[in-house]
Structure formats: C-alpha cells, structure tokens
C-alpha cells in the first residue's frame, strides 16, 4: 500500500499499478475524489490529475494512470491473438513490433527491406531499429490509457531501453504476462498459419525452428529481467483462445484493483 497525493488533495491510500481514472464526486461538487482502487480522499476545486506517487499512475500528459503490459512468449504462442482481445476489453494501444516491421516491408521502405531479409531467415531485427520504432509510437500516442507491448522487448537490451523510455515518461511497465507453449505446438500452429498467411517465416519448418532457437537464446532471458522487478506472470498458453484470455484477464484485473 502506498500513500498517494493528488495536487490539492489530502493523502489517500492506493496500491502500485492501480488507479486509472480520477472520479470526482459530481454530487458534492468536486469535494470527494476517488482514484480507482483508492480510498476516497478530500480534494479541492483546484484538484488536478497530478500525482506525486506511483508514477505509473500517470499517462504522458500527466493524467492519472497508465496500464502498460508486456505480452511475452515464443513465436506462435498467441501474443497477437490475445492482444486483439485485450485491446477490445481494456482500450489499450497495441504495439506489435512484428506488425510494425511488416508495415515497413509492405511500404517498401529501406528499413523494411533490411528487416525482411532477417525476418525471412528467422533472425531478430537489430535492437536499435525496433527501439526507434517503439519510441516513435509512444510519442505519437501521448494520451493513451496504456500500451500492450506484443513481441517487444525481445532482448534484454530492448527491455532496458524500454524501461528507460517509459520511466522518463513516468509510466513504467505494470506487468509481463508470459504465454507458455511447447515447441511442437508452436511449430504446428505456425505451419498451419503459414498455409494462408503469406508469411515466409511461417512457411518453412527450418525457419520456424530457427525462430524458436533465437527465442531461447536471446528472448527467454528477458523473463528474468521482469522476474527481478517482480512483474513476471506465467500462464499456460495451450487451450482455447477464450480460456487463455480469461487467465490473462485475471492477472490484468489485479493491476486495476
């Protein structure tokens, strides 16, 4: 439990990672403030959404709270699939580095042409490229309620850079949710998708195995990074999309209480 203080308010109880919206009591004309998950607190007419404690309660415009999630897992674990559901339910901005890179490829940019060679070969794109893309997207979405980072960070360097970027904006990652799926199932899913996705990296079993190896070598250690910050949550990524989504929501909802 933390003590929060919004400018012009009395201190109030709150927890890290909760509190989204300042709900002033309209009936009593701005006298009682409540931030989701907090005890009601007294505030004045000058109440402004400016919080001195957990910085994660603010978005980049200094409004209250951002819910920033990392959706983690090997290729084909279902990050993209579950992100769609999460956006609908929580109104977050989806940042998928895979989608951003495929967008660059579709537009035929220089960056896209470079990335395509690596992606088709099952390799990761250089850190500086994806960090630059993410930084640009964060700046372009200053009023977001929060972000789902899908497929990013994929290396410890990316995780460190993301921390730096978000901390400088006062809105750190709330939690990482890792989808656990075994290699056989991953290969099966990606080959199935490859039949109609048109994605070269899904069509070839050898490339899929290389992507899984890249994940084990370079991406899996990112989990330890978030374990060290007490933000790591693991869930079983095998089952129906609905069941898995329900498990994810149970975790996300804890951060909203």
Active site residue 211: yes
- Residue written as tokens 């579709």? 106
Residues 158-187: x where in contact with ligand B4P by CB under 6 A, - otherwise, as a string: x-----------------------------
DSSP 22: B
79 binds ligand B4P (CB under 6 A): yes
Footprint on residues 238-257 left by ligand B4P (CB under 6 A): 241, 244
* Binds ligand B4P by CB under 6 A, chosen from 152, 225, 226, 255: 152
Instruction: Considering the candidates 7, 55, 199, 209, report the single residue annotated as catalytic.
Output: 199
Q: Say whether residue 189 binds ligand B4P (CB under 6 A).
A: yes
Site string for ligand B4P, 202-221 (x = CB under 6 A): ---------x----------
Strand segments (E) across the chain: 2-4, 12-14, 32-33, 41-42, 69-72, 93-96, 147-150, 175-180, 232-236
> Residue count at the site for ligand B4P (CB under 6 A)?
27
* Distance, C-alpha 43 to centroid of its chain: 32
In a 3-state reduction of DSSP, which class is residue 232? strand
Say how many CA atoms lie within 13 Å of 223 toward its Cβ: 15
Cα–Cα distance for residue pair 36/17, rounded to 1 Å = 11
Where does this chain touch ligand B4P (CB under 6 A) — which range of 7-15, 18-26, 38-46, 69-77? Answer: 69-77
User: Does residue 199 have an active-site annotation?
Assistant: yes
What lies within 8 Å, CB to CB, of 80 at 6+ separation is 96, 98, 99, 150, 151
Q: CB nearer to ligand B4P: give 23 or 85.
A: 85
Pairing of strands 69-72, 147-150: parallel
User: Residues 89-108 vs ligand B4P: string with x where CB under 6 A?
Assistant: -------xxx--x-------
**Catalytic residue (choose from 154, 169, 189, 231):** 154
Query: Residue 218 in 3-state DSSP?
Result: helix
According to DSSP, the β-strands at 41-42 and 32-33 are: antiparallel
* Smaller CB separation from ligand B4P, 11 or 127: 127
Catalytic residue numbers read 79, 154, 193, 199, 211
**Site of interaction with ligand B4P (CB under 6 A):** 73, 75-81, 96-98, 101, 118-119, 124-125, 130, 151-152, 154, 158, 189, 193, 201, 211, 241, 244
């Amino acid at each position: 439990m933390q003590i929060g203080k919004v400018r012009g308010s009395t201190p109030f109880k709150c927890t890290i990672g909760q509190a989204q919206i300042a709900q002033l009591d309209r009936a009593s004309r701005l006298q009682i403030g409540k931030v989701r998950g907090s005890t009601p607190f007294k505030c004045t007419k000058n109440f402004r959404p400016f919080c001195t404690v957990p910085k994660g309660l603010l978005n980049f415009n200094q409004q209250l709270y951002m819910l920033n999630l990392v959706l983690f897992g090997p290729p084909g674990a279902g990050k993209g699939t579950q992100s769609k559901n999460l956006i609908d339910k929580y109104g977050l901005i989806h940042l998928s580095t895979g989608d951003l890179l495929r967008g660059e490829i579709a537009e035929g940019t220089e960056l896209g042409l470079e990335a395509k060679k690596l992606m088709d070969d099952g390799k990761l794109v250089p850190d500086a490229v994806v960090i630059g893309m993410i930084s640009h997207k964060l700046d372009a979405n200053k009023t977001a309620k929060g972000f789902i980072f899908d497929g990013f960070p994929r290396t410890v360097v990316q995780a460190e850079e993301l921390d730096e970027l978000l901390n400088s904006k006062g809105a750190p990652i709330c939690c990482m949710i890792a989808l656990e799926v075994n290699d056989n199932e991953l290969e099966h899913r990606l080959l199935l998708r490859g039949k109609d996705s048109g994605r070269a990296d899904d069509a070839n079993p050898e490339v899929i195995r290389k992507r899984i190896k890249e994940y084990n070598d370079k991406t899996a250690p990112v989990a330890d990074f978030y374990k060290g910050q007490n933000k790591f949550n693991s869930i079983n990524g095998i089952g129906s999309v609905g069941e898995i989504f329900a498990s994810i929501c149970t975790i996300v909802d804890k951060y909203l209480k």
